[in-house]
């Protein structure tokens, strides 16, 4: 399928809505950019919480949020995780999340593959979600299996202790260097095998292979691929339509044009 070049964002949006008219299935791949429209900071990229600076412990934030550090120095991992959570506290899902949830109700089959751990897709009403990196509001004790869900970290001790066995609990998220959860990977593989009519990549740099590969595979299969991101990314050169807009603004414009 040849790449579609658009002179304006409006032309691109019109083309996307035309494609959606004949669409039955959609995969949305979302990253930090969609939640940035809710005011959430990120630790990487422009305007990040840490940018390229080392933490006050003299290590990168990636190392602070690594599985190895969590195991050996859980206080360090929890310190920076709680800083990130504090900066996200009181934020809520935005129009971008809402549009995706509305599309799920409208089209025959819609799935969301998200790297975000904020839970906003769930809160906005989406049900078919593969939160591949987990959810920061779900706590688990790996020693005894205790689990809990918290609204935020304001009323828990940092690091939190399991009320059953007294060990340090952890959030159900994938830290750097850890394996992806097998159950979510299985769901992703199942849905990718079924395939989709249209693939959206929204607000992600697509640096992880499992985030980039669905778009690459879709392109090879002749399925339509769309990227919504103000910046150039790992997949910008291969998608059919590149929409250089913020996520919430673009999705709202597409949905209004469609309806």
| Active-site annotation, residues | 133
* Beta strands across the sheet bearing 198-202: 129-131, 109-114, 25-30, 198-202, 224-228, 241-243
| Rounded Cα gap, residues 136 and 113, in angstroms | 16
Task: Specify whether the CB–CB gap between 65 and 77 falls below 8 A.
Answer: yes
| SS3 of residue 173 by DSSP | strand
Rounded to whole angstroms, the Cα distance separating 157 from 155 reads 7
Show the tokens assigned to 134: 């987990």
Q: Do 45 and 229 contact (CB within 8 A), yes or no? A: no
Q: How far apart are CA 207 and CA 240, in angstroms?
A: 19
* DSSP label of 93: -
Which of these, 97, 141, 95, lies nearest to 116 by C-alpha position?
A: 97
Decide: 40 and 89 in contact? Cβ < 8 Å: no
Structure tokens at 153: 């970290």
Verify cis geometry, omega within 30 degrees of 0, for the bond prior to 119. no
d(CA 206, CA 212): 5
């Amino acid at each position: 399928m040849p790449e579609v070049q658009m002179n304006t964002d409006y032309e691109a949006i019109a083309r996307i809505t035309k494609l959606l008219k004949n669409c039955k299935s959609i995969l949305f791949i979302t990253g930090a950019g969609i939640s940035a429209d809710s005011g959430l900071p990120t630790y990487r990229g422009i305007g990040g919480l840490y940018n390229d600076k080392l933490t006050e412990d003299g290590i990168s934030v990636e190392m602070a949020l690594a599985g190895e550090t969590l195991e050996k120095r859980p206080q360090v991992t929890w310190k920076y995780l709680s800083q990130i959570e504090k900066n996200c506290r009181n934020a809520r899902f935005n129009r971008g999340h809402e549009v995706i949830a509305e599309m799920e109700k409208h089209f025959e089959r819609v799935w969301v593959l998200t790297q975000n751990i904020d839970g906003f897709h769930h809160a906005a009403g989406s049900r078919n979600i593969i939160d591949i990196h987990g959810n920061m509001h779900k706590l688990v004790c790996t020693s005894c299996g205790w689990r809990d869900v918290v609204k935020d970290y304001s009323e828990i001790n940092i690091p939190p202790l399991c009320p059953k066995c007294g060990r340090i609990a952890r959030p159900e998220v994938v830290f750097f260097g850890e394996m992806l959860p097998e159950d979510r990977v299985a769901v992703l593989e199942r849905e990718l095998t079924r395939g989709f009519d249209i693939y959206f990549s929204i607000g992600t740099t697509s640096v992880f292979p499992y985030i980039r590969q669905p778009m690459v595979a879709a392109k090879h299969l002749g399925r339509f691929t769309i990227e919504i991101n103000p910046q150039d990314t790992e997949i910008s050169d291969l998608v059919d339509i590149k929409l250089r807009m913020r996520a919430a603004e673009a999705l709202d414009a597409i949905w209004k044009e469609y309806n």
